[in-house]
Amino acid sequence: MKILVAVKRVIDYNVQIRVKEDGSGVHTDNVKMSTNPPDDNAVEESVKLKESGKVKEVVAISIGEDKAQESIRKALAVGADRGIHIKSDSYIEPLGIAKILKKIVEKEKPDMVFLGKQAIDDDCNQTGQMLAAMLNWPQATFSSKINLKDKSIEIVREIDEGLETIEVNLPAVVTCDLRLNEPRFASLPNIMKAKKKPMEQLNAKDMGVDLTNRIEQLKVEEPPKRKAGIKVANVAELVSKLKNEAKVI
């Protein structure tokens, strides 16, 4: 079997995001970037399945500027076999990303596409679902446990009510939750070897799909600052404030 695993390069989760003054977006100059955390889980799970012998090849793909290759190299350093970089210097919405991925799926014919459940930058949580719909494949989202069978895959999903177990037929789209596994570290020799693994480079414009963005972004702004709290003297005062001021009880 073969897995196509999609990775996205985003602002590192430890970095405090700074909104541009004109509200057009956030600052990214000299800001530490990393692979989107749930994408690391998707790569880890793909590599684990390969190590178990059930999967033959893991192909990592990323769409974005040249530096997106760093995320592909990282996937290659922890065990993916080869990479595909689709170059685009401008922002592409999840729909456009899903269309490009569909094209690659038609060419590569994987049995499964693994993605992170959502990206921590735009938090869209759409690409996997859109891709599944366009391919007319079953989808298993928010996976926290995976059991690959011969022609199907059993998934435990993290949902609001708790855990849900489903089984979908292959081929399928799987999006991964942070609880799925603990991603391994890349070792120095593997980082060096990853530099020599093949990476195909294509251009988003040449993919033959309509990448026109459909959402007009009006403004990006910081969330309002939390106001300072107050100390109450006793329970009676607390109850009175909750009742009369906060009006929550």
Partner 1 sequence: MAREAMEYDVVIVGAGPAGLTTAIKLKQLDSNLNVCILEKGSEVGAHILSGNVFETKALDELLPNWKNEGSPIKTKVSKEKFLFLGKNSSLSWPTWLLPSVQKNHNNYIVSLANLCRWLAEQAEKIGVEIFPGFPASEVLYNEDGSIKGVATLDMGLDKDGNKKDTYQEGMELHAKVTVFSEGCRGHLGKQLIKKFNLDDGKDPQQYGIGLKEIWEVSEQQHQEGLVMHTAGWPLDNKTYGGSFIYHAEKRQIYLGYVIGLDYQNPHLSPFDEFQRFKTHPSIRKMFEGGKRISFGARALIEGGIQSLPKMYMPGGLLIGCDAGTLNMPKIKGSHTAMKSGIIAAETIVESIKNKTDLSIYEKKFKESWIYKELHAARNVKPSFSWGLILGIIFTGIDQILFRGKLPFTLKHKHADHEALKPASQMPKIEYPKPDGKLTFDKTSSVYLTGTNHAENQPVHLRLKDPYLPISYTLKEYDEPAQKYCPVGVYEIQQEKFVINSQNCIHCKTCDIKEPSQNITWVAPEGGGGPKYGNM
Q: Token digits for 170? A: 């292959």
15 touching partner 1, by CB under 8 A: yes
Give the C-alpha separation, 108 to 111, whole Å.
Answer: 9
Nearest-angstrom CA–CA distance, 212 and 219: 19
Q: Binding of partner 1 at residue 124 (CB under 8 A)?
A: no
Q: How far is the CB of 69 from partner 1 (least distance, A)?
A: 13
Rank residues 56 and 67 by Cβ distance to partner 1 and give the closer one.
67
Q: Does 52 bind partner 1 (CB under 8 A)?
A: no
Q: Which residue has the tokens 């990282």?
A: 74
Residue 225 neighbours by CB under 8 Å, 6+ apart: none
- Phi and psi at 49, nearest 5°, equal -65, -35
The answer to whether 18 contacts partner 1 (rule: CB under 8 A) is yes
Nearest CA to 37 out of 144, 163, 159, 183 is that of: 183
Q: Minimal distance in Å, beta carbon 208 to partner 1?
A: 34
Q: Which stretch binds partner 1 (CB under 8 A): 9-17, 56-64, 95-103, 105-113?
A: 9-17
Distance CA 164, CA 160 (A): 10
Q: Please pick, from the candidates 3, 9, 10, 34, the single residue that binds partner 1 as defined by CB under 8 A.
A: 34
Rounded to a whole number of angstroms, the minimum distance from the CB of residue 186 to partner 1 is 8
Place of tokens 């799970």: 45
Minimum CB separation from partner 1 for residue 9, in Å?
12
- Separation CA 86–CA 72 (nearest Å): 11
Angle at 185 between CA 179 and CA 109, to 5 degrees: 70
Q: Does residue 214 sit in helix, strand or coil?
A: coil
Binding of partner 1 at residue 223 (CB under 8 A)? no
Q: Indicate which single residue of 117, 183, 194, 204 sits in contact with partner 1 (rule: CB under 8 A).
A: 183
Asked whether 38 and 143 are in contact (CB, 8 A), the reply is no
Interface region with partner 1, contact rule CB under 8 A, candidates 14-22, 115-123, 203-211, 235-243: 14-22
| Shortest reach from residue 12's CB to partner 1, in Å | 6
C-beta closer to partner 1: residue 70 or 108? 70
**Which residues lie below 8 Å from residue 152, measured CB to CB, with a gap of 6+?**
167, 168, 169, 170
Site stretch for partner 1 (CB under 8 A), options 52-60, 156-164, 183-191, 229-237: 183-191
Of 48 and 102, CB closest to partner 1: 48
Count the residues of the shown chain that bind partner 1, applying the rule CB under 8 A. Answer: 20
List residues binding partner 1 (CB under 8 A). Answer: 12, 14-16, 18, 21, 29-32, 34, 182-185, 187-189, 191-192
